Amino acid sequence: MAVAARIAQLRAEIERHNHAYYVLDAPAVPDAEYDKLFRELQALETQHPELLTPDSPTQRVGGKVLDGFAPVKHAVPMLSIRTETDTDASGAFNFDVRVKNALGAVDEIEYACELKFDGLAINLRYERGVLKQAATRGDGETGEDVTQNVRTIHCIPLHLKDCIADVLEVRGEVYMSRRDFNRYNEKQRELGLQTLVNPRNGAAGSIRQLDPALAAKRPLSFYAYGLGEVQGWALPATHSAILDALQSFGLPVCADRAVVRGAEALAEFHRRIAAKRDALPFDIDGVVYKVNSLAQQLELGFVTREPRWAVAHKFPAEEQLTILRDIDIQVGRTGKLTPVAKLEPVFVGGTTVSNATLHNEDETRRKDVRIGDTVIVRRAGDVIPEVVGVVLEKRPTNVGEPFDLFKRLDGHCPVCGSAIVREEGEADWRCSGGLFCPAQRKQALLHFAGRRAMDIEGLGDKLVEQLVDGDIVHTPADLYTLSMSALADLERMGEKSALNLLDAIEKSRRTTLARFVYALGIRNVGEATAKDLARHFGRLERLMQADEAALQQVPDVGPIVAQSLRAFFSEPHNLEVVDALRRHGVEWDEHDGVSDQVLPLTGKTFVLTGTLASMSRDEAKSRLEALGAKVAGSVSKKTDCVVAGAEAGSKLDKAHELNVPVWDEAALLERLKEWETI
């Protein structure tokens, strides 16, 4: 196949996959297969730069940093529409009456109903199907050229399908979904970086980044809802048909739309969307009604630069001002300490809010939130209400001091009194009394009983909830004192189930040091690290007494893990629980440690993929780790070997691509037999 033809084929295939992933939310191929196609296209375009075009999928990220945005004169002004602030059904009836009066003797009007997205309005200019320019609304007459940034939004096609128009300007909204907004902010908090105030500001701020590479890191989406200039395409007769056509061209159009007749149907659409507003994946602040017939739109015309044929029917606001009365500290299931704003109750997002999260100390200090301030509270969907900012001009003279969590708590957990700690580079303070703290009790018990930890079969969420809420179990050690009489009154706990649970608890008394260390739920100590610690120290006492320098002699244990271990074993409450567990018969074999011993696979990284016939993947992993290997979840250049069983997938493809050695099950068994006899 000629290079040009192969490039065209790859571009078409990649755009199909982009549409399936970003617009339809139904990916058609694994990520590895997509990456393979993308890399092939990049390589061909690098080898043949004369064939590179602006609408290639490879041109979505990048571009030089801009000094500023060039002005763009809109061929057709981007006008705003009237807002109906009456959030009751009467708002729909008011609009219908105005339209009927303007049109004269018309019994019932047909309307197109849509969502009012809370983002940034954008004009996309396509010439003969290719995206040439993207511009903001600006003042309606002149906007800003944001083409480079808009190209980074994967759901916006760079080339339209089957579009014959010489010019087609598509208007719509760039937005950020709640999930993407929350994920982005959580990652920023983890890195100690500035967060976004809300999805709307996140979308607008991203599009107006002067560095397209930074804009590309912000997760944005787009919905089309109308047209600007059109040349060389005969418009359909209705607005709803225009949206259908845009969708057929490959543009994302929101499915939550309807064509209805009459005012009552408008009000019903408003009620229906209001009821599902919280369940939507993105923010809206109302719905939009448009007269569906383009002929009737033309007849109605405009008044003071607003179309008579459209209106935005608002919902209750999702941001409001209120007074911060106090700051409380909550302890989460994992020991995370979260400052919570105690507010003067305010109606926001459809409900009365009196508490709102401040996320962590750094975020609270960055926003300079103080007791007595007037604050902006936001509630969107089912997201926990949060304080997003302070109105400094309303700050009273007697406002409280800057927030200091450690000073506020005098360094101790408000629930159990254990010391609070914050690891280097972490944004969150945490309670160190993991096994003892009541706030962490359910999480600690579930982790302790997990299959990879103490493996207490039958001890699941509902049973743990009953044991804790019934004040029967306070720490993991209490599990080993449970009796039939204690279990008899629990809901859905028959005699057989109780006997099975007691039998599972009894069996768990005999374990391994690695499982026990992992079961303790020490922060940053996963299953593999627990195995490394058990192998290195051999005895629990040696591990508990080791200082940070000694802990960092263990492979893959760095300063953060060492700090977590010392914090855990320095807390008297945790030591009491460990001692109680041993007194109740939890035991394992101990040895003198292998800190100086080099195992056969020390320093080697393996990856397992596919199904093994002679053993489970977990067993294979355990046997490899016992020989000193690290078993990773993905293939990279640092991988020493991939073990491929039946129906191996993308990891096997990646191994071949990177020339990583691959073993089948027979080769693995042969090597294990050889190494395990050394």
Specify the pLDDT at position 62. 45
Which tokens hold the place of 403? 């927030």
Structure tokens at 127: 């010439």
Round to whole Å and give the CA distance between 91 and 346.
Answer: 24
**Per CATH, which fold does 412-595 belong to?**
DNA polymerase; domain 1 (1.10.150)
Q: 64 catalytic, yes or no?
A: no
What is the 8-class DSSP label of residue 159? Answer: B
Please answer whether residues 325 and 345 qualify as being in contact, where contact means their C-beta atoms are separated by less than 8 angstroms: no
110-117 vs 284-291, strand pairing mode:
antiparallel
Do residues 309 and 81 lie in contact, with contact meaning Cβ atoms separated by under 8 Å?
A: no
The per-residue DSSP string of 451-483 comes to TTTT--TT--HHHHHHHHHTTS-SSGGGGGG--
Output Rg (C-alpha) for the chain, integer angstroms: 31
Residue 596: predicted pLDDT: 52
Contact of 218 with 206, CB cutoff 8 Å: yes
Q: Is 121 left (phi over 0), alpha (psi -120 to 50) or beta?
A: beta
Q: In this structure, how many other beta carbons lie within 10 angstroms of the beta carbon of residue 90?
A: 12
Please tell me the class of the 82-314 domain. Answer: alpha beta
Q: Which fold has domain 3-59?
A: Helix Hairpins (1.10.287)
Could you write out the DSSP letters of every residue in 84-151? E---STHHHHHHHHHHHHHH-S-S--EEEEEEEESSEEEEEEEETTEEEEEEE-TTSSEEEB-HHHHT
SS3 content of the chain, % helix, strand, coil (to 5): 40, 20, 40
Sign of CA dihedral 63, 69, 70, 72: positive
**SS3 letters across 330-354:** EECCCCEEEEEEEEEEEEECCEEEE
Which residues, 6 or more positions from 416, have their beta carbon under 8 angstroms from its beta carbon? 431, 433, 436, 437, 438, 439, 573
Distance CA 505, CA 497 (A): 12
Return the pLDDT at 21: 65
Residue 616 near residue 580 (C-beta atoms within 8 A) = no
Domain 605-676 CATH (choose: 3.50.50.60, 3.30.360.10, 3.40.190.10, 3.40.50.10190): 3.40.50.10190
Q: What angle do CA 273, 277, 283 make, to 5 degrees?
A: 120
Residue 608: both structure tokens together: 């397992």
Q: Give the whole-angstrom CA distance, residue 447 versus residue 635.
A: 28
Spans of the chain, pLDDT less than 50: 62-63, 65
How would you class 73 by CB atoms within 10 Å of its CB: exposed for 0-12, middle for 13-18, buried for 19 or more?
exposed
Distance spanning both ends of the chain, measured CA to CA: 54
Q: Give the integer Cα–Cα distance in Å for 501 and 471.
A: 18
Residues 291 and 109: beta-carbon distance below 8 Å: yes
Alpha carbon separation from 677 to 595, 599, 601 (Å, rounded): 20, 12, 13
Q: Whole-prediction pTM value?
A: 0.52
Is 174 in contact with 124 (CB distance < 8 Å)?
no
Domain ranges of the chain: 3-59, 82-314, 319-409, 412-595, 605-676
What CA–CA distance (Å, rounded) separates 373 from 359? 17
The closest alpha carbon to 133, from 183, 73, 189, belongs to 73
User: What architecture (CATH level 2) is domain 319-409?
Assistant: Beta Barrel (2.40)
Of 36, 73, 116, 638, which is the active-site residue? Answer: 116
Pairing of strands 605-609, 430-431: unpaired
Phi, psi of 643 (to 5 degrees): -100, 115
Distances (CA, A) of 671 to 627, 646, 663: 11, 19, 10
Q: How far apart are CA 224 and CA 559, in angstroms?
A: 50
- Alpha-carbon span 246 to 226, nearest angstrom: 9
